[in-house]
Chain A
Amino acid sequence: DIQMTQSPSSLSASVGDRVTITCRASQSISTYLNWYQQKPGRAPKLLIYTASGLHSGVPSRFSGSGSGTDFSLTISSLQPEDFATYYCQQSLNSPRSFGQGTKVEIK
């Protein structure tokens, strides 16, 4: 099974900051990597698919990059509504797997 590891587990940032979250796969997954945002008490929402594709309706301040085993999600200018937990997920094969999450908090 493919293991997904995110770093950091949490971070504090201010509105307007540039924020980068990383995700590492235990084996190469090409670009079969998705990113989700989850706010407390809510279901996750898809942000990025196949490593760098911006899902419909997602603001352009979100971007994804990477291939193979190393990936990143960047928020170019953090907005108040971006404080949430972010998860990466591999879709190369089954069983599917998620990272442990990165909580973005207000500094």
Chain B
Amino acid sequence: QVTLKESGPVLVKPTETLTLTCTVSGFSLSNDRMGVSWIRQPPGKALEWLAHFFSNDEKSYRTSLKSRLTISKDTSKSQVVLIMTNMDPVDTATYYCAREVGISWGDAFDIWGQGTMVTVSS
């Protein structure tokens, strides 16, 4: 059974750095045409894709947040880590990790974690 689980702090202060970990099971981060993305959703708002780490070691970031984001993976631990610096109250959101897999000729997020709510407040 494929699962993803997010972990990290529930509350961070403005200007602090957020570190989120996605622990996966049921598949390998080194599988071909497979990767993990981080996606967030502010309360009552739409989904925002943040970053991904794909099987060919491709990394990509949301353009508007590129300077604040770092994604990395530890295949031996089956973990993908997202670091976001200089947190602001507007970064308050539920943060999801999702498996991105090759389906047909495209890629899609087929399995999602349950999400972790992060509040930015002093």
Knowing that A55-B110, A98-B39 are A-B contacts, what are 18 other residue pairs whose CB atoms are under 8 Å apart, sorted by A's residue number? A31-B106, A34-B108, A34-B109, A43-B98, A43-B114, A43-B115, A46-B108, A53-B104, A55-B103, A91-B100, A91-B106, A91-B108, A95-B62, A95-B63, A96-B49, A96-B52, A97-B49, A101-B47
Count of chain A residues near B, Cβ 8 A: 25
Q: Mark B79-115, 1 if CB is under 8 A from A, else 0.
A: 0000000000000000010101001111111101111
Q: In the assembled complex, how far is the CB of residue A66 from the closest CB belonging to chain B, in whole angstroms?
A: 13
8 Å CB contacts to A: which residues of B5-63? 37, 39, 46-49, 52, 58, 60-63
> Which residue of the partner chain A has the closest CB to B54?
A94
- Chain B residues contacting A97 (CB-CB under 8 Å) are 49
- Measured in the bound complex, the distance between the Cα atoms of B115 and A12 in whole Å is 28
- Chain B residues contacting A96 (CB-CB under 8 Å) are 37, 49, 52, 60
Consensus secondary structure, chain B interface: strand
- Chain A residues contacting B98 (CB-CB under 8 Å) are 43
Count of chain B residues near A, Cβ 8 A: 27
- Chain B residues contacting A1 (CB-CB under 8 Å) are 63
State the A residues within 8 Å of B (CB).
1, 31-32, 34, 36, 38, 43-46, 49-50, 53, 55, 87, 89, 91, 94-101
